[in-house]
Amino acid sequence: MNNGQTQSRWVFSILLMILAAVNIATHLLVGGFTHSYIDDLLAVPMLYCTVRLLYTEEIRFLPEIIFAVRTGIQFLIYLFRRTVGTVDNVNFSQIAREGLPYAKTALVCFAGMVGLECGRILLRIFRQTYDHQSRQRRRLMMAELFCIVLALGGVAGYFAWEDNAVTVSHYTYESDKVSPALDGFTIAQVSDLHNKTFGEHSYFLIGKLKAAKPDMIVVTGDLVDYNRTDIDAALDFIAQAVRIAPLYYVTGNHDEALSLPQIYKLTQGIEQAGGVVLDSECAVISRSQGILWRGNNIGDYREDIVTANAPDDVFNLIGLANVNLFRSKIEYITPHSAHLNILLAHQPQAVEHYVTEPVDLIFSGHAHGGQVRLPFFGPVYAPGQGFSPKYTEGVYDVGSASMVVSRGLGNSVFPIRINNRPELVIVELKQDSGFHLLP
């Protein structure tokens, strides 16, 4: 074996170790070693490095051969499992998932192959330039290349961390409307998931929810994303979450934008899994007995009858569907009672409308934390609020109500978060003489 072959093997050994380290780090970031599409993205370059280690001579079209073989194997596995379903009038991502489940893997593998080819072209250009330089200049070029790779890796790692590392924000809501029997009641808020899974079967997110030990989970809209709708993934998360605590859901603008069959599949799937869809409805809930009354017209609610045999652990949960956020529907579903009124409403910019009724605690999302949060400036942009938005994350006191706005968990059109990690919100109810929502 000559020096060139030895050097080549060292290079491919180092590259393979780097790719393996990136793969492992990504799995650790999302919380488990179940299948992830990062595996498919790195599959072609990792197999390429492995083949070059075993066979040092350059093989023409090797990346393309690896891609074709891997896609062919995925297709055979697919044919073995099921027959191709009919393609309905749905978006491409749903076709890829339901009709051609191997296609998404093939596309990700193709992206890995394109990345590998771009890297090979850049490496050839670098080597040609490198071979015509003096020894001192060669060392400087290698140092420059190392710094560039290190900087790009650092930036990519930061973006991956900001987009995937879920932070848990804890708040305490203190009010004299919190009865002694409700003291310590914990609510977990999941908002703007946008079909993101955080590991297979939402392993990492579900782990965070379990650790919080909530008494109730509220999902404040945009469970799916109309740009890449995957209702089965959304329902898979619901199926995991309802095992932790009772779950209540209201629609967001993305959920509302689905076709009628998709909306029906989503809402019926949530109900069948054990969740509750509040479609501009009020649910009177007892901590110990569950739902005592549920309806979309508070005129039908007789508090004295409903709560006559209930212990002192009752509160009202009002779910305002996204289509009714800016309409007068809220006045028909908000009780005027001594019990705590908790409102679920997807968009925070309508808070001035919400507080026209006696709501006490509001859970909202939609703003994605402003997506990009700059030092000394704050959030840059939020849908419905424009640039330099007012309501993006944290706690706001508006009138006699307190509103907590989640930064959300997923992304939609803009796929990157900066200084704005995805957030799971936990609020604990405490009895107090006044009302406060405290970090």
Give the pLDDT score at 97.
Answer: 47
Same domain membership, residue 393 and residue 294: yes
Q: Which domain holds residue 332?
A: 167-438
Residue 222 within a domain: yes
Distance CA 68, CA 79 (A): 16
Helix (H) or strand (E) holding 97: none
| Burial class of residue 264, CB neighbours in 10 A (0-12, 13-18, 19+) | exposed
Q: Which of 72, 105, 132 is the last residue of a domain?
A: 132
At 385-429, the pLDDT tens digits run 888 899 999 999 998 899 999 999 988 777 788 899 999 999 999
Beta-bridged to residue 386, according to DSSP, are 382
In the chain, pLDDT over 90 holds for what percent of residues? 42
Residue 144 within a domain: no
Mean pLDDT of the chain: 84
Pairing mode of beta strands 314-320, 281-286: antiparallel
Residue 92 within a domain: yes
134, pLDDT greater than 90: no
Q: Which of 73, 106, 132 is the last residue of a domain?
A: 132
**In this structure, what token pair is assigned to residue 420?**
């704005």
Residue 262 within a domain: yes
Residue 314 within a domain: yes
- Region 20-30: mean pLDDT is 73
Measured CA to CA in angstroms, residue 330 lies from 251, 322, 345 at distances of 15, 11, 10
Give the pLDDT score at 36.
Answer: 64
Q: pTM of the predicted model, to two decimals?
A: 0.76
Same domain membership, residue 115 and residue 187: no
Residue 204 within a domain: yes
Instruction: Measure CA 166 to chain center.
Output: 9
Which of 327, 328, 343 has the alpha carbon at shortest distance from 405?
343
Same domain membership, residue 126 and residue 184: no
186, pLDDT greater than 90: yes
Same domain membership, residue 215 and residue 115: no
Pairing mode of beta strands 186-190, 216-220: parallel
Same domain membership, residue 199 and residue 100: no
Match 């603008």 to its residue by tokens. Answer: 253
Residue 20 within a domain: yes
Same domain membership, residue 227 and residue 106: no
Same domain membership, residue 324 and residue 255: yes
Across 144-148, 250-254, 394-398, 427-431, least confident range: 144-148
At 350-378, the pLDDT tens digits run 999 999 999 999 999 999 999 889 888 88
Task: Count structural domains, the chain.
Answer: 2
Give the pLDDT score at 82.
Answer: 52
Contacts for 82 with CB less than 8 Å, ≥ 6 apart: none
Any idea what the CATH number is for the domain that residue 340 is in? 3.60.21.10
- Region 53-75: mean pLDDT is 84
Residue 159 within a domain: no
61, pLDDT greater than 90: no
